[in-house]
């Protein structure tokens, strides 16, 4: 994919690299690897780097390097890519209290797909998900891909308030809402773990390219871990 990458101007001191048309485990790994390489080459000239599903946004200090220098560094990164085999990938396990009172969509997914609630839970637990992107809200990781058997479209009308920690499915993605917010995903459980802490370093437990797997807990464990219903 790297030899098919496209570079576009994204601002007076920003460039964006597009690596693929559709997200996949391969594109996720290549974006993570490219991030490492670009951070190394840009060094202190780099202001920010934001990976997403199929792209990487690079913002640099225009007082220190110009557009052409930045472009040459990106091309150098693409021509001499970092190996994806030795990336520092974290494997994160997140607890879930499924079918909690404030997460009403598990039964609807089961009925829609002709499954039992337990089957939906088992299928959701069985996958190890790639962190494709982080956005919408601090700590909100878009995880994929969900097994097609439990994929579910977004709600036609988003809810005004989704509880913090809500575990949700939309199409072939799953995620945990890190804080109370509006949302249109299908809610199937609650996670008690804090996913965004601006007082810690790092302030998120994951980055693009990491792996997430859920494990099941009951209500007592959920409350003991600091969860609130």
What pTM value is reported for the model?
Answer: 0.83
Query: Above 90 in pLDDT, residue 183?
Result: yes
Asked if residue 58 lies in contact with residue 14, where contact means CB atoms within 8 angstroms, the answer is yes
Question: Is residue 198 in some structural domain?
Answer: yes
pLDDT range class, residue 51, cuts 50, 70, 90: confident
Reported as a single tens digit per residue, the pLDDT across 95-109 is: 999 999 889 999 999
Reported as a single tens digit per residue, the pLDDT across 144-165 is: 999 999 999 999 999 999 999 9
Number of domains in the chain: 2
Taking the C-alpha atoms of residue 170 and residue 186, their distance in angstroms, rounded to an integer, is: 6
My answer on whether 11 and 122 are in the same domain is no
State the CATH number of the domain containing residue 17: 3.30.1360.40
My answer on whether 49 and 143 are in the same domain is no
Reported as a single tens digit per residue, the pLDDT across 203-227 is: 888 988 899 999 999 999 999 999 8
pLDDT range class, residue 170, cuts 50, 70, 90: very high
Which stretch of DSSP H or E encloses residue 45? Answer: none
Q: What is the pLDDT of residue 225?
A: 94
CA 126, 130, 136 angle in degrees (round to 5)? 115
My answer on whether 50 and 129 are in the same domain is no
DSSP assignment of 138-184 equals TT-EEEE---GGG-BPPPSS-EEEE-TTEEEEEBTEEEE--SSEEE-
Q: What is the pLDDT of residue 85?
A: 66
What is the mean predicted confidence (pLDDT) over 169-185? 95
Could you list the residue range(s) of the whole structural domain that residue 217 is in? Answer: 91-224
Question: Is residue 229 in some structural domain?
Answer: no
State the CATH number of the domain containing residue 217: 2.40.100.10
Reported as a single tens digit per residue, the pLDDT across 80-97 is: 776 666 677 889 999 999
| Residue in the block written with tokens 């970092």 | 82
Asked if residue 216 lies in contact with residue 125, where contact means CB atoms within 8 angstroms, the answer is yes
Question: Is residue 86 in some structural domain?
Answer: no
My answer on whether 68 and 138 are in the same domain is no
Query: Above 90 in pLDDT, residue 62?
Result: yes
Q: What is the pLDDT of residue 3?
A: 64
My answer on whether 53 and 122 are in the same domain is no
Q: pLDDT: is 182 or 54 the higher one?
A: 182
My answer on whether 68 and 100 are in the same domain is no
Taking the C-alpha atoms of residue 153 and residue 112, their distance in angstroms, rounded to an integer, is: 11
| Residue in the block written with tokens 């299908």 | 186
Q: What is the pLDDT of residue 41?
A: 93
My answer on whether 98 and 146 are in the same domain is yes
Q: What is the pLDDT of residue 36?
A: 86
My answer on whether 108 and 44 are in the same domain is no
My answer on whether 153 and 75 are in the same domain is no
My answer on whether 144 and 214 are in the same domain is yes
């Amino acid at each position: 994919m790297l030899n098919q990458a496209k570079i576009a101007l994204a601002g007076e001191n920003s460039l964006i690299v597009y690596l693929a048309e559709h997200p996949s485990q391969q594109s996720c790994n290549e974006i993570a690897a490219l991030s490492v390489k670009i951070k190394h080459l840009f060094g202190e000239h780099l202001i920010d780097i934001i990976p997403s599903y199929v792209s990487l946004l690079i913002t640099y200090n225009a007082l220190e390097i110009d557009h052409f220098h930045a472009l040459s560094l990106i091309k150098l990164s693409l021509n001499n890519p970092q190996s994806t085999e030795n990336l520092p990938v974290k494997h994160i396990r997140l607890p879930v209290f499924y079918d909690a009172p404030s997460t009403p969509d598990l039964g609807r997914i089961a009925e829609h797909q002709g499954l039992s609630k337990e089957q939906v839970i088992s299928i959701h637990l069985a996958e190890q998900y790639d962190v494709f992107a982080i956005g919408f809200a601090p700590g909100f990781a878009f995880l994929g891909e969900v097994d097609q058997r439990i994929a579910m479209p977004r709600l036609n009308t988003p809810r005004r308030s989704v509880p913090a920690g809500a575990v949700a499915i939309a199409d072939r993605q799953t995620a945990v809402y890190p804080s109370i917010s509006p949302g249109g995903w299908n809610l199937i459980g609650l996670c008690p773990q804090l996913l965004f802490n601006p007082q810690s370093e790092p302030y998120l437990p994951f980055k693009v390219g990491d792996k997430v797997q859920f494990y099941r807990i009951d209500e007592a464990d959920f409350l003991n871990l600091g969860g609130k219903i």
